[in-house]
Amino acid sequence: MSPSSLADSHQVAISPFNDQKPGTSGLRKSTKQFQTPHYLESFIEAILRVLPGVAGGTLILGGDGRYGNRSAIQVILRMAAAHGVARVITTTDGILSTPAASHLIRTTPGVVGGIILSASHNPGGPDGDFGVKLNGPNGGPAAESLTDAVYGATLSLDSYRTVAAPALDLSKPASHRLAGLAVEVVDGVSDYVSLMQRLFDFDRIADLLRSDFPIVFDALHAVTGPYATQIFEDLLGCPVGTVRNGVALEDFGGGHPDPNLTYARDLADLLLEGDAYRFGAACDGDGDRNMILGQRCFVNPSDSLAILTANAQLVPGYRDGLAGVARSMPTSAAADVVAARLNIDCFETPTGWKFFGNLLDAGRITLCGEESFGTGSNHVREKDGLWAVLFWLSILASKRCSVAELVSAHWASYGRHYYSRHDYEAIDSGKADALFDRLRGGLDRMAGQRFGTATIRLADEFSYCDPIDASVTSRQGLRILLEDGSRVIFRLSGTGTKGATLRLYLERYEPSGGNIDLDPQRALADMIQAADALADIHGTTGMDRPTVIT
């Protein structure tokens, strides 16, 4: 992604940007869209105009290494200099995971925010996607008021400010000057690894890994490769090769850097069908998502949050107990059951890490998670994939059991939430909107109707009043709550760049723990059929099956 005809002057005339409002995940578009003349510059200009404290402040800048990452950093550095930013801290080759960026923002004096270049779990490369995300000074995703202001600024842009300067060498740690801007290139891995060493007992984990407990980690040729290599192979003593696909590539090796059973199939096959490893994990493009696997055992993310909550006292960084836990609304209620037994608060929030950020900043929660393979804690203000992997290994090192044994024991104690998410991707936006509007219009007539083998108790559209700032967030998903405690949720997702993604969430609770060997798709079969009939998913989309099932 080369800068588009940057003039030597400090101001370049452009046409109004006038793009769609960025979401909590920032602005995600195709790489080709970001290559459009002045497109990237326009969005960065809007950020630099409205972010408080830019003039004379410090920015953190880095990304997941995808195609366009390095050249975009050079563009942003020149624009930061033109806007009077005093200092930008970036990383070697611009590689910086999202959780590591959050940590760097939180621990560096004078930081007014961070710009993270990533489209998260979306594919990369010239034909893939690119993204720009703004984080606030607390290290978390920018508040909605700030993203609204950025969007408002884009609507009236007619120019952007920059300086003419040669590209800086980002290949090694160093200090540079660019006009009046101080640019520091730092090692993006070491500070984060040191944080992990403070939270977890690496000696105890290493002892587990020496005791006939082989593990494998798949970095999917994304940002966590250098972090995982240093942690697992250099510090914990795992054999070279434990980290697969550990070199970060601009196109993620042609793969899809999304850690689920569809896109991380090679890893899943190693654990679910082979006997070489007892534990496996993967992270996504920017390092904030995780998938946990054991021998013949997949851990769904909702259960993962509940198990971490139930066993947090075994981990040094959390041995003093938890203030509370939070989950996104579509995430199963497994964590709620644990929180009730521990007598701690459990919050149900809309999807989006910024809602957890408010609770974390206020000290109301310690752990939080989403069903979309994201878990985190108060150590940063983003979800954190490698942190979750180390948390799991810490518990296993303490209990000296397999992943399957730990999960089975949890279900026996707390009950099992049979749970699944069905994603229908790249649907025509008009058809997706029509399906959703039809469902929304019939919510008030659903109570009392049969749904599979149960009866609908309540159907509504989820809204949330933030207990910290009293802000109200509405239209967060359509919920169908059944009298037996089961739930069905429909949401339209904005994380893709092609069409719309319909997400269907299904959950059934079995207090006794249920059948350990029963596949969730079989346990939920009647609900799946009833949901398709209610929403006419097949008839509307023409899709015979979901794109991804988790």
Domains of the chain, start order: 9-187 (3.40.120.10), 192-414 (3.40.120.10), 416-549 (3.30.310.50)
Distance separating alpha carbons of residues 448 and 459, to the nearest angstrom: 10
What does the pLDDT read at residue 499?
Answer: 80
Query: Considering just the CA atoms, what is the radius of gyration of the chain in Å?
Result: 23
Task: Give the integer Cα–Cα distance in Å for 99 and 114.
Answer: 12
pLDDT over threshold 70, residue 366 = yes
Instruction: For residues 366 and 322, give the distance between their C-alpha atoms in angstroms, rounded to a whole number.
Output: 5
User: What is the distance in angstroms between the CA of the first residue and the CA of the last residue of the chain?
Assistant: 34
pLDDT at 3: 35
| Active-site option among 42, 118, 120, 372 | 120
Please tell me the least confidently modeled range out of 64-78, 264-278, 492-506.
492-506
What count of other Cβ atoms lies within 10 Å of the Cβ of residue 15? Answer: 10
Helices first, then strands: H and E counts in the chain: 18, 27
Going by C-alpha positions, the residue among 138, 125, 3 that lies closest to residue 60 is 138
Q: Determine the average pLDDT of the residues in 369-393.
A: 97
Q: Which pLDDT score, from 0 to 100, does residue 9 have?
A: 35
Query: Residue 22: pLDDT band by 50, 70, 90 thresholds?
Result: low
| 3-state SS string for 251-267 | CHHHCCCCCCCCCCHHH
User: What's the mean pLDDT when you consider all of the chain?
Assistant: 93
Residues 6+ apart with CB under 8 A from 238: 209, 215, 232
Q: What is the mean pLDDT of residues 431-445?
A: 93
Task: Judge whether 527 and 488 are in contact, CB under 8 Å.
Answer: yes
Q: What's the confidence (pLDDT) of residue 493? A: 78
Q: What average pLDDT score do residues 440-453 get?
A: 93
- How far apart, in whole angstroms, are the C-alpha atoms of residue 100 and residue 322? 23
**Mean pLDDT of the 235-248 span:** 97
- The pLDDT score that the predictor gives to residue 541 is 87
| 3 state SS of 474 | coil
Q: 48: Cβ–Cβ under 8 A, 6 or more apart, which residues?
A: 54, 79, 80, 83, 85, 161
pLDDT computed for residue 2 by the predictor:
36
Residues, the chain, total?
A: 550
pLDDT digits (tens, 9 = 90+) for 97-111: 999 999 999 999 999
Q: Which of 524, 522, 53 is nearest to 332 (CA)?
A: 524
β-strands 324-328, 345-349 pairing: parallel
pTM of the predicted model, to two decimals?
A: 0.92
Mean pLDDT over 13-31 rounds to 71
Closest alpha carbon to 93 in 118, 127, 64, 121: 64
Residue 542 is predicted with a pLDDT of 87
Mean pLDDT of the region 543-548? 88
Burial level of 210, CB count in 10 A (0-12/13-18/19+)? exposed
Q: What is the pLDDT of residue 6?
A: 34
181 vs 111: CA distance, rounded Å: 14
pLDDT for position 17: 66
pLDDT at 55 over 60: yes
Q: What distances in angstroms separate CA 247 from CA 81, 190, 269, one per listed residue? A: 32, 17, 21
pLDDT-based confidence at residue 234 (cuts at 50, 70, 90): very high
Q: Does residue 497 have a pLDDT over 70?
A: no
Cα 405 to Cα 308, 391, 408, 411, distances in angstroms: 15, 16, 5, 10
What's CA 264's distance to the chain center, in Å? 16
pLDDT tens track for 279-334? 999 999 999 999 999 999 999 999 999 999 999 999 999 999 999 999 999 999 99
pLDDT confidence of residue 459: 95
The better pLDDT of the pair 108, 17 is held by 108
Residue 25 is predicted with a pLDDT of 63
Q: Residue 517's pLDDT is what? A: 79
The larger pLDDT score, comparing residue 440 to residue 516, is at 440
Average pLDDT on 446-468 reads 94
More confident residue, 5 or 469: 469
* Residue 120: active-site member: yes
24-28, 253-257, 346-350, range with the lowest pLDDT: 24-28
What pLDDT, on a 0 to 100 scale, did the predictor assign at position 278?
97
Q: Residue 15: what pLDDT? A: 61
State the pLDDT confidence band at 8, using cuts at 50, 70 and 90. very low
Q: What are phi and psi of 15, to 5 degrees?
A: -80, 160
Q: Could you tell me the pLDDT band of residue 267, with boundaries at 50, 70 and 90?
A: very high
- Confidence class for position 1, pLDDT limits 50, 70, 90: very low
Confidence of residue 266 (pLDDT cuts 50, 70, 90): very high
Q: For a pLDDT cut of 90, what percent of the chain falls above it?
A: 85
